Chain A
């Protein structure tokens, strides 16, 4: 169910990016798409009542030099979190570039409506 909602969020973002006429709304749509994917990645590693994937003394069995089974059963998957951090940074870069180009276009054309920004055709 949460996955379905996440996918719904993704399609809302896609709809917004494809259908809306205002450039700012398109940018928001793309950002929503990205957050949906980030949310999806986080949920992949999520566990109900999970713990942070950090090994401390209570989870470390010094006799066998291994982490305990409790830890393996309870810890969330850290890899998607690393992926999401990377993806957030990338998203920040694209968002900044998109907004700055939107502002430059507004300076040139005096409008955010993409139906009026049509010097290119063919």
Chain B
């Protein structure tokens, strides 16, 4: 237990140190290139091991030994551990995939540096217990991702990067304004202290305005539907491993996690906010699914599908919030929240795998227009198999992970008597099935064209990354089905959200000792 608090800053320090070492190693020529990839992979893998080692721990670390509210603290609780595992799982796989995939680009050390900065930012957002510090890490992750989206420096990529950056910056400024408003009222920046101050003054109009600004700002980062226009451009233009990172975890950490922390732990969930989340979730699910079906570009289709799947997560969280504030059986509320967190993990793994397979297809054929592909099933057997597994998981076919998370959401909705939500979850799953059948039909089935006789299956680390994620898609069902894993990983995360503003009491209690 005593080592755990010391591990907390390492989640930020390891990728930051790696990010500053990589360009130095990269300047050593060919040997340096091999060294940079080794260091980068080592860093992501060690972060993954560390996040798994911190399961079921609770600790608080005061940065520079300044106790709160004077200093900044880092907090490790159930929700944090859950998100750390998700982030580092996907980033390890994406980094492994990058080793070979990024050979087609120049300036690989710079790419790895930006990648590491993005990981540092995301880990920082998750572990920090201070609102302004959260903003700083949010900006580190966002700026790195703006640069990575435009990394190829082609016309489309630069255009997507600019669009993403303008909307992302508007979101960041809204968040900063909200932090300023909140500081003006409560005089605190530490989440626990803000939470206490908000509880003493719940009807303050400025605080409610700040909450609205937080929802708008983080909603922009999460690509909630009125603000979703940047997502398909940015996610389809980035290099494939970066698309996997953006769709798999960046929108979830900067958007979903930050929103959950502010709404549940700081401001406390109210039925109005819960209803708003349900509405946003429903709009996202439907709009994302219908827009995805019409796409002719493989990666744009996957990006729109992410919007739809983020809708599932918000629907579950919103239902949980509504049920928590109503006089309903708290069991269903917990189940809805648990289901949507589990869906978040499943979607992170399966969507990043889908983007990696799209990268493999693009590398082999040089195009990602569905109309120009076809007949790749024989040439790319591994890519096809892993794409099939990931699609099955995201659609919700048993026994893959995605089936269990959707099942939990449906059971929770029916148990609480909200039948339309259950029907909607199933209906949108059918739309999801249609879009992934379309992917398989156009990309893998049919007759291969003459020019594509010579294409080769991806090998080496690209194949390893895809196989690892495909195995995870199958095995993730166990996270819910095996009671011990569920009790260690999912239950504590859901409990943090259900406890809501008791978060402050827990932090204060630990700090006093």
Contacts and interface: CB of A to CB of B under 8 A. Distances in A.
Interface stretch (A49-57, A58-66, A68-76, A83-91): A83-91
B180 interface: yes
B457 interface: no
Dominant secondary structure at the A interface: helix
B183 A117 contact: no
B261 interface: no
Contacts of B189: 79
Given A33-B170, A122-B232, A122-B295, A101 B184 contact: no
Which range holds the interface residue count of chain A?
35 or more
B207 interface: no
Contacts of B159: 105, 117-120
Most buried by B among A26, A44, A101: A101
Contacts of B177: 10, 37, 40
A67 interface: no
Contacts of B163: 120
Contacts of B170: 14, 17-18, 30, 33
Contact of A37 (B165, B176, B295, B296): B176
Interface in B134-189: 136, 139, 143, 146-147, 150, 153-156, 158-163, 165-166, 169-170, 173, 176-177, 180, 183-184, 189
B161 A108 contact: no
A78 to B, nearest CB: 12
Interface string A90-116: 100110011001101100110000000
A94 B243 CA distance: 21
Interface in B9-68: none
Given A10-B177, A94-B169, A102 B143 contact: no
B362 interface: no
A10 B216 CA distance: 15
B149 to A, nearest CB: 10
23 contacts: A10-B173, A14-B170, A17-B166, A33-B169, A34-B176, A37-B173, A41-B176, A80-B183, A90-B136, A93-B139, A94-B139, A94-B143, A94-B146, A97-B143, A97-B165, A98-B165, A98-B166, A98-B169, A105-B159, A105-B162, A119-B156, A120-B156, A122-B296
Given A98-B166, A105-B155, 9 more contacts: A23-B162, A30-B173, A37-B177, A40-B180, A41-B176, A44-B183, A97-B143, A120-B233, A122-B300
